[in-house]
Amino acid sequence: MNRFKGGKGKSEQSARRQKTKPKKQVERQTSGNPDVMRLNKYISNSGICSRREADENIALGLVTVNGKVITEMGYKVNRSDEVKFDGRRLTPEPMTYVLLNKPKGFATTTAEGKGRTVMDLVTNATNAKIKPIGRLGRNSLGLLLFTNDDKVVQKFTNSTTGVARLFHVELDKKLKPEDLKTIKEGFKIDDTLIAVEDISYVQGQSKNQIGIKIKNTGNSILRTIFDHFNYNLVKIDCVAIGHLTKKDLPRGHWKHLTQQEVNTLKML
């Protein structure tokens, strides 16, 4: 009887060793990976709380990873995982906001193999994984905001309640007063209402120089508008995003937003 129990114990110990061995291998494989970290560090890096407080919140079941509640201490996550604290999605790095005055010749994309991109211009701005909000064409100029703040991105990408951008555009010919009036009042293209915040001639300039304010995050809407009235766009320059302007920001340069600028942006 004793030999039988002892044999069973050895068998169980052997089985446990076999089960734990693959786990240790996984830990060794991920230990040197900078994109893998402990869950409490991930939460702490997001600025929500300290690691000790993070452990307490994990134990209380307030943290989910990819939709699953995690209460295990020492649990490891990947940067690409969706981690939420009390329903709010977290990012394992401080909220970062970078404003670029984009020159011509750079595509607004984070994809590789697209030639020169705006990411090349802000590569030294931060280690945070920021992305541009909206788009400016390769040959368009002006302000472009980068961030890793999902709430700000959502604010911008809502074309109804989003943040207005002011563009200075140059047309291939003078804009007729009646066309300006129609654009200002709103019009339809294929039963879709095209609305702008404001439009006017640029003061002191020829009437082919137009200021137009829109909430749409792409600049393709500008071509849609003016194509409809048979005008070609010669130049597109984003001169303001909400309260943010190009003042003291030369072409091709970037800056970090001040805390006051960030606070004002979130209140728009």
Domain boundaries, the chain: 33-92, 96-158+248-268, 164-241
- At 69-116, the pLDDT tens digits run 999 999 999 888 999 998 888 877 778 999 999 999 999 988 877 789
Topology classification of domain 164-241: Pseudouridine synthase (3.30.2350)
* CB-CB contact of 242 with 94 (8 Å): no
What 3 state SS string does 41-68 have?
Answer: HHHHHCCCCCHHHHHHHHHCCCEEECCE
Tell me the pLDDT band of 35, cut-offs 50, 70 and 90. Answer: confident
Phi and psi at 141, nearest 5°, equal -120, 165
Top mean pLDDT of 22-26, 38-42, 100-104 is at 100-104
Q: What is the pLDDT of residue 227?
A: 96
Average pLDDT along the chain: 85
**pTM beyond cutoff 0.85:** no
- At 224-256, the pLDDT tens digits run 999 999 999 999 999 999 999 999 999 999 999
Length of the chain: 268
- CATH code of the region 96-158+248-268: 3.30.70.580
Q: Of residues 81 and 217, which shows the higher confidence score? A: 81
Closest CA to 177 of 203, 213, 215, 208: 208
Whether 164-241 and 96-158+248-268 are alike in CATH topology: the answer is no
Topology classification of domain 33-92: 3.10.290
Place of tokens 């937003």: 257
Taking the C-alpha atoms of residue 14 and residue 160, their distance in angstroms, rounded to an integer, is 63
